[in-house]
Structure 1
Amino acid sequence: MSTTFTFDNSTSRANPTPAPMRRLTVPAIRERKGAEPLVMLTAYTVRMAQLLDPHCDMLLVGDSLGQVIYGLPSTVPVTVEMMCAHGAAVVRGSYHSLVVVDLPFGSYEASPMQAFETSARIMKETGAAAVKLEGGAVMAETVAFLSARGIPVIGHVGLTPQAVNALGGYGVRGRSSAEADKIVADAKAIDQAGAIAVVVEGVVEPIAIAVTKAIACPTIGIGASAQCDGQVLVTEDMLGMFDRVPRFVKRYHEIGDEIAQAAATYASEVRSRSFPTPDQTYQPKI
């Protein structure tokens, strides 16, 4: 049995008291192919990891943090340092889910050795169990190289956000038969290279179904199909934190509106001097 640090919610400080834990393992994730669907959500902070962890099988520290946390126009500017900092936070805030960290653009494409060095650094500095990279057949050699050296890899095919400049935007992929065939071939290549799972993003549904049937490892859909072996969403999208979200996102809550209303109420009470009240201040002892 291994241990991790718990987090004291009452003070928002890490409490270094060992707590028993048993995370889901890579073999356990692979065994879910065709079984109970895998649940994955993104997480970038300790507190969000805590809230999501009991309900998820995997937490993805996605390079989407560039847009969600840092307000960047795309995932392209995200750095390894960003991924390490947020990945470590998510590992500290979770105990059950398998934590996966994205390899950011420019940190792995040059060669398998570059990918290994980046992956090794991320896993050492975060404690994550796996990395994720984008690309199909062209990355198969890299996936095989990493897998042979003890680094579990999740692939990513279809709409690949790091290639937004080459793709010309975030439109759905696979509408032509040639592109559809390529997506299926890319998924097969990554699977055969040893990927533990493959994210299938932003493709027409028959392609997602075809990929799921064609490969041995689980597929994780996002804008794909309910017939994939699991699903992933950006947590802030599904919570309603942003006004505009992709079509494939179901908004399970409108927490953005609630936060705005709470801030408005707070501002009103501060300006009217109705906050703080005696309940929130310290009075002299009699």
Structure 2
Amino acid sequence: MSEPRPVSCWLTDMDGVLVREQKAIPGAAEFIQALQQHGRRFLVLTNNSIFTPRDLRARLLGSGINLPEDAIWTSALATAQFLENQAPGGSAYVIGEAGLTSALHQAGFVLTERDPDYVVLGETRTYSFEAITTAIRLLEKGARFIATNPDATGPSLEGSLPATGSVAALITRATGVEPYYVGKPNPLMMRSALNQIEAHSESTVMIGDRMDTDVIAGIEAGLRTVLVLTGSTKEDQIARFPYRPTRVVNSIADVVDLVGQLAPLPDHAETD
């Protein structure tokens, strides 16, 4: 087998890697600065479809992380791009917030309740029984079902909240129609991110905090992967999975020095 190519591009998850409960994780700001100083192409990925990249930039800036708006890639943007490629100028009934509706508008989609091509489900803090009922009836009439991501719950200061995957399961139970999920762990989101920065999978690393979304999506997209232990997956859980990240580190602070090396990422499955 050939030697791994040097790392020149980086993809990273947001929650659990750069921020936790809207507070920057130590090393996050330095990591972004290192990427910019060394001229590395990169994107910050999130399955969150609520916020636009502009909103997310403002939230990150409030946490001390200065990130360009165009360096943020959400499941809403990936979903809009996917639908634009599948059905240019199509129509959709959308359950979601500004991050999703604005992305679909920019992709040329018409948002309507009248015979839409698709029902598109995203994340919102105000899921409405009326909107869910409308989605069910449109699917029964033949609309196709798309969801931004399969996450069952989302975090809040008070605890877990039901998220897109939970509501999608309710709709599927009512209709028998399974959605197509665009966001992680679908490697489609990784591929779309690579295309955004004109990166090659062999020279790109994915950093994440979850084995079941970030790491598996990275592996399936042909990327090397780094798991940080500041989020969902804990060190004693790694062995339960039938796949391994390329490297396991305590936090994003342990990755900062790797950015400037432009060398192959050494395989090291133990925690640094």
Q: Do the structures match in fold with TM over 0.5? A: no
Higher relative contact order (CA 8 A, sep 6+): 2
> What TM-score results when the alignment is normalised by the length of structure 2?
0.37
> What TM-score results when the alignment is normalised by the length of structure 1?
0.35
